[in-house]
Amino acid sequence: MQPFYVTTPIYYVNAQPHLGHAYTTIVGDCLCRFHRLLGKEAFLLTGTDEHGEKILQAAEKAGKPPSVFADEISARFAALWPQLNIEPDSFVRTTSARHEECVQWMLQRVYDRGDIYFGEYGGYYCYGCERFYTEKELEGGLCPQHLVKPEYISEKNYFFRMSRYQGWLRQHILDNPDFIRPERYRNEVLALLDSGALEDLCISRPKTRLAWGIDLPFDRDYVCYVWFDALLSYISGLGAPDGEVFKKFWPGENLVAKDILKPHAVFWPTMLKAAGLELYRHLNVHGYWLVRETKMSKSLGNVMDPLEVIGKYGVDAFRYFLMREMSFGSDANVSEEALVGRINADLANDLGNLFSRVLSMNAKYFGSSAPQARELLPEDTALIELARTAVENFIRLFSRARFSHALESLWELVRGLNKYVDATAPWALHKVGDMARLATVMAVPLAGMYRVALCLSPIMPAAAAVMFAQLGQPARRALAADALWEWVEPGVMLAASSALFPRVDPLTPAEDASAARRSSPKAADQAAVEPCACTITHEDFQKLDLRVGTIVAAERHPDADRLLCLAVDIGEEHPRSIVSGLAEAYAPEDLPGRQVVVLANLAPRKLRGKESRGMVLTAEGGKLALLTASHPVPPGGKVS
Ligand code: MSP
């Protein structure tokens, strides 16, 4: 089976990662997980683009040498991906020795094949885009991307004979309809190629003007143009030209947004052709995430921080939202309201509710053991047929980068399963004691839910792991469109309840959920039975600074009946002031001397006017109970 290889753009290190970067990388991760589910080997490459004028200027602005600056921002990108449950197989930095060697190899190769020459050039240079524009390409004399007046620069440079490949590229795109997809971008590139002569590409910068780059192997007075350098990360990150991984995975697919269509659709294939390397299989181009109809970008100051979003709503909901909300190729608006809307409608109402009702009914009727289906009636076979079509469509659409449509198709099954449960009314069968039919009408949705969990596993890996566990299934199983309907093995023990995606109140999002639980015993009861649908990494856990502390003083909060103001010794110079919702369970005079567990690195906040610097941990369920160590521990003792 042909292995699958996909790349994201390698991101500039002049800005912090935001939702736009997260989206493309999540798409890459979902695609790899999807192809693995289909039984293929898959490889995800991402990384950072660290050379060039733009980065140098940003480093100077930050008062740091470019290498130090690049190290810092690159590390932020690398650290973000695991938090979004993204597992890159290669993270390329264009300042790495391996990448530099590959770029020099390629430059020499194209030079030796006669496609690089030295010449004089004058053009309109946009520093933002790091490229020359022809007069024709400018809009009202301004760079069409940055809307700034470019500088006219004339100097001697090296050029890649890109013009030579114009006719060939046009023909290749015509012969391979899905080389660039969706179609609108293919048409855009064809129109560009038809609009006039393709110019040669200036691929060097004199070191006298810019030294932050990779030396040209045939002229050390010049460095390589940042785009010629950056595009090669897609093969250097596989170990090109000689590495085994390169031989195995190349050619692959590239994922980009429409901002960088031209370098990927014109520079990149002509570079590969000139070097005699195989072309990529597909260029998948998506639109922009907009905030109130404006592109999300650092320069406009309207970016959404993915960490903030996942902190409030969880990684799985975030990944699902991005994959479902954007129709790949078109622009899409993002807002917290839209995210909450999707969580409540799709995840809580449709999916969460399906798992919750079927598993709790099965617990009631069959003691949580998977029942054996008996005779199938037309309504059962209709549902099985719906599942087959929905999964087939899901696979077909997902493989073609039509993620939103793929999920829409899967939701036909989710909603179909809910309708099936409504129509077959298991509770009524139970009431009249028709256990044979009851077994079938429970077995059918359980099998359907398993297919849904399989399809969702590339998009929501953590939630899918919970779904598999609830269905008594091993985590990873292959998904084949034509596989026969599979029953959940009779007798397997299933979860008795499920709360995959609790509804989110837009006004009191998950962030405030713990506070809400503390002040509402009813909510606390519900929370006690809800398993968490997300997993955290060991690194995530290590971020928590948990310490044993001794309460040295406690008094009632002057303005809140439920709160106590504590002074807790956690081994620091002064006791910590911590406000905690303990008043219903503990009298202040009972607390001094007690040992407790404190989350010491929680951001300080004010609770009804009193500053709280940490959190005292409690256990819920019935009366609130303070957590403590089983024997006395010196204050400040680390909890791990
Ligand atoms: N370094 C170049 C790419 C070189 S690839 C060989 C670059 N970097 S970038 O940091 O500007 O990243 C651009 C990419 O980030 C887009 O193509 C897209 O993948 C992602 N996005 C950044 N903002 C985005 C939106 N507002 N919406 C969607 N994607 C966005 O260009």
- Cα 257 to ligand 1 centroid, rounded to whole Å: 6
Task: Show Cβ contacts of residue 55 under 8 Å, excluding neighbours closer than 6 positions.
Answer: 12, 13, 14, 49, 66, 69, 70, 212
207 is catalytic: no
286 is catalytic: no
Among 172, 207, 258, 295, the active-site one is 295
By the 8 A CB rule, do 497 and 529 touch? yes
Q: What is the CA radius of gyration of the chain?
A: 29
Q: What is the predicted pLDDT for the residue at 632?
A: 66
Q: Whose CA is nearest to atom 23 of ligand 1?
A: 20
Q: Is ligand 1 within 6 A of the CB of residue 20?
A: yes
By the 8 A CB rule, do 319 and 30 touch? yes
Q: What angle do CA 62, 63, 66 make, to 5 degrees?
A: 85
Q: What is the predicted pLDDT for the residue at 525?
A: 32
By the 8 A CB rule, do 600 and 547 touch? yes
Give, for ligand 1, the residue of 259, 266, 283, 292 to mutate: max count of ligand atoms closer than 8 Å to Cβ: 259
Domain ranges of the chain: 4-286, 315-470, 530-626
143 is catalytic: yes
35 is catalytic: no
Q: Is ligand 1 within 6 A of the CB of residue 346?
A: no
C-alpha span between 170 and 193 (Å, rounded):
7
- Cα 578 to ligand 1 centroid, rounded to whole Å: 43
Task: Show Cβ contacts of residue 436 under 8 Å, excluding neighbours closer than 6 positions.
Answer: 374, 375
C-alpha span between 200 and 267 (Å, rounded):
10
Task: State how far the alpha carbon of 387 is from the alpha carbons of 405, 483, 484, in Å.
Answer: 16, 11, 11
Neighbour tally for 388: CB within 10 Å? 17
Q: What is the dihedral of CA 425, 430, 434, 437, to 10 degrees?
A: 40
Lay out the sheet containing 131-133: strands in order across.
Answer: 131-133, 116-126, 151-160, 201-202
- Cα 401 to ligand 1 centroid, rounded to whole Å: 18
Structure tokens that stand for 83 in this block = 């938090």
Main-chain phi, psi angles of 429, to 5 degrees: -65, -40
Structure tokens that stand for 157 in this block = 């440079």
21 is catalytic: yes
Q: What is the predicted pLDDT for the residue at 134?
A: 82
Q: Whose CA is nearest to atom 30 of ligand 1?
A: 20
Structure tokens that stand for 595 in this block = 């040992």
Neighbour tally for 220: CB within 10 Å? 9
Q: Is ligand 1 within 6 A of the CB of residue 260?
A: yes
C-alpha span between 384 and 376 (Å, rounded):
10
Query: What's the CATH class of domain 530-626?
Result: mainly beta
Q: What is the predicted pLDDT for the residue at 482?
A: 65
264 is catalytic: no
315-470 fold: Isoleucyl-tRNA Synthetase; Domain 1 (1.10.730)
C-alpha span between 504 and 506 (Å, rounded):
6
C-alpha span between 52 and 50 (Å, rounded):
7
Nearest partner of 286 among 191, 181, 192, 190, judged by Cα: 181
Q: Is ligand 1 within 6 A of the CB of residue 295?
A: yes
Task: Specify the residue for token string 């919702």.
Answer: 581
Q: Could you give the 3-state DSSP secondary structure of residue 489?
A: coil
Structure tokens that stand for 187 in this block = 């048409």
Structure tokens that stand for 282 in this block = 């597909």
Point out the residues of the chain with pLDDT beneath 50. Answer: 507-533
4-286 fold: Rossmann fold (3.40.50)
Nearest partner of 260 among 151, 129, 148, judged by Cα: 129
The burial of 456, by beta-carbon neighbours within 10 Å (0-12 exposed, 13-18 middle, 19 or more buried), is given as buried
- Cα 469 to ligand 1 centroid, rounded to whole Å: 37
Nearest partner of 200 among 152, 173, 148, 160, judged by Cα: 160
Q: Is ligand 1 within 6 A of the CB of residue 371?
A: no
C-alpha span between 447 and 485 (Å, rounded):
8
Among 143, 224, 534, 565, the active-site one is 143
Among 126, 202, 455, 565, the active-site one is 126
Among 21, 54, 312, 557, the active-site one is 21
β-strand partners of 597: 548
Q: Could you give the 3-state DSSP secondary structure of residue 635?
A: coil
Helix axes 435-456, 353-366, angle to 10 degrees: 140
Nearest partner of 157 among 94, 104, 200, 101, judged by Cα: 200
**Helix H or strand E segment including 184:** helix 183-194
By the 8 A CB rule, do 78 and 89 touch? no
Q: What is the predicted pLDDT for the residue at 1?
A: 85
Give, for ligand 1, the residue of 11, 26, 77 to mutate: max count of ligand atoms closer than 8 Å to Cβ: 11
Q: What is the predicted pLDDT for the residue at 481?
A: 65
Main-chain phi, psi angles of 223, to 5 degrees: -110, 165
Structure tokens that stand for 150 in this block = 């470019």
Global confidence as pTM: 0.79
